[in-house]
Amino acid sequence: MLIKIYPENPNEKAIEQAVDVLRKGGIIIYPTDTVYGLGCDITNQKAIERICKIRNIKPEKANFSFICYDLSHISDYIKPIDNATFRVLKKALPGPFTFIFNASHAVPKLLSSNKKTVGIRVPDNNIAREIVKALGNPILSTSIHDEDDIIEYSTDPELIHEKYEDMVDLVIDGGYGDNVPSTVIDCTSGEFEVIREGKGNLQEYL
């Protein structure tokens, strides 16, 4: 199923439709402020296993992100961070960054793996954030990769739908996606270490 949602003013009914799919253990493809993501409810084990199957990855090896509405719930999933780190997060998010932290005890239970770290994302995209807000907890997410080495990321929602319609329950057309992923920053040592340069420039917020 493909539905159109406009990022400037997401339609409440369409957001509810996406949330309904997630609550029933479904998988959605949705836009972020970078590339399109493949997402499910973090509390649904079967849905997480389905995403691993689609991406052909083992759950314990997967580098998933938790897509959050804002920073209010991240303390549920990460070990305590200092005020200086929190201040940078407040300035940089919502934005095109994935911050990797030491995971709290709640994360391995959610993912049924021995995950010691977790990636936190607050995308600057109203569709993604409104879905998370209405769902009431983060979405577990991974990027949609393209088999074509040159393209790497699919950007056209209609083509994404053609490719994935038999594998996922809902594709949200939120306009063309970007083909530059988020900047990944490892914060597990208390420092900010950029491990993948992407769309975001962290220097602006330090």
Q: What is the pLDDT of residue 59?
A: 72
Which pTM does this prediction carry?
Answer: 0.94
The series of mean pLDDT values per 10 residues for the chain, 206 residues long, is: 94 97 98 96 94 85 90 93 96 97 90 85 97 96 76 85 95 94 95 95 95
Burial 172-197 (b: 16+ CB within 10 A, else e): bbbeebbeebbbbbbbbeeebeeeee
Cβ atoms of 182 and 98 closer than 8 Å = yes
pLDDT in tens, 68-112: 999 998 999 999 999 999 999 999 999 999 999 999 998 888 887
